[in-house]
């Protein structure tokens, strides 16, 4: 019988921390943001990150292991090696998953006061036109069914008027100034295998009801 320790495998990743790029390059190059972004959890354990850094102790990094040798040579002074562990097909519940779960990040735009009257809420109303353009137009509504959260695309803005409307964003693509402005109002959702979502650990969602997990 194979025990937990025998199931463990180790691999070395080539990673780049955003802070290193800011020091060495003065920016985070677009060709680097195309690579997966992860958060360091503990020795040997990482998870995907949406780019939200809720406190200064969180360590984020891009996994550039699959990058070309030319790109690695270009950013050699920013690359470091990180040893992570993963399990084979059978994973013990006591061993954290190396890659974790897919996250989606949303920013609430409106709050429904009745079935037809809505008000713009939060930091979004204070953003400039150019900042809103950077955030994009991936508008969605959130539906709660039997404790599950479903995201529904808003094709026409007036379709969302009977429900609270959100903007789906990718924080890893935003500059630091804009991210600071909106980070306090971002909510992380975890996508489940059936395509629905649940709140990430410690998140709350202010919608028709208050949904909280701890």
> What per-residue confidence (pLDDT) applies to 72?
93
User: Which residue, chain included where needed, has tokens 């959100």?
Assistant: 166
Give the span between the Cα atoms of 74 and 137, in whole angstroms: 34
- Per-residue pLDDT for the chain (214 aa), expressed as one digit of tens each? 344 444 445 688 899 988 888 888 888 888 888 888 888 887 778 888 766 666 667 788 899 999 999 999 999 999 999 888 753 323 333 333 334 457 788 888 877 665 555 667 778 888 998 998 888 888 888 887 777 888 888 766 665 556 778 888 888 778 888 888 888 888 888 888 788 888 887 777 654 333 333 2
Which residues are registered as beta bridge partners of 47? 39
Which residues are registered as beta bridge partners of 159? none
Residue 76: which residues within 8 A CB-CB, separation 6 or more? none
DSSP state letter for 162: T
Which residues are registered as beta bridge partners of 80? 15
Give the span between the Cα atoms of 44 and 21, in whole angstroms: 23
């Amino acid at each position: 019988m194979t025990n937990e320790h025998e199931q463990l495998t180790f691999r070395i990743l080539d990673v780049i921390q955003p802070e290193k790029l800011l020091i060495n390059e003065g920016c985070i190059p677009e060709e680097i943001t195309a690579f997966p972004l992860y958060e360091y959890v503990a020795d040997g354990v990482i998870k995907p990150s949406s780019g939200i850094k809720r406190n200064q102790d969180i360590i984020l990094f891009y996994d550039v292991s699959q990058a070309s040798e030319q790109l690695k040579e270009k950013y050699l002074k920013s690359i470091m090696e990180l040893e992570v562990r993963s399990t084979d097909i059978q994973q013990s519940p006591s061993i954290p998953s190396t890659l974790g779960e897919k996250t989606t990040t949303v920013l609430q735009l409106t709050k429904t006061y009745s079935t037809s009257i809505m008000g713009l809420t939060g930091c979004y109303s204070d953003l400039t036109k150019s900042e809103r353009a950077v955030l994009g137009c991936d508008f969605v509504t959130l539906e709660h069914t039997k404790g599950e959260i479903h995201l529904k695309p808003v094709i026409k803005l007036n379709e969302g008027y009977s429900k609270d409307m959100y903007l789906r964003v990718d924080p890893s693509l935003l500059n630091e100034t804009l991210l600071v402005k909106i980070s306090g109002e971002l909510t992380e959702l975890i996508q489940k295998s059936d395509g629905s979502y649940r709140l990430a650990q410690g998140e709350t969602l202010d919608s028709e009801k208050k949904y909280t997990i701890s």
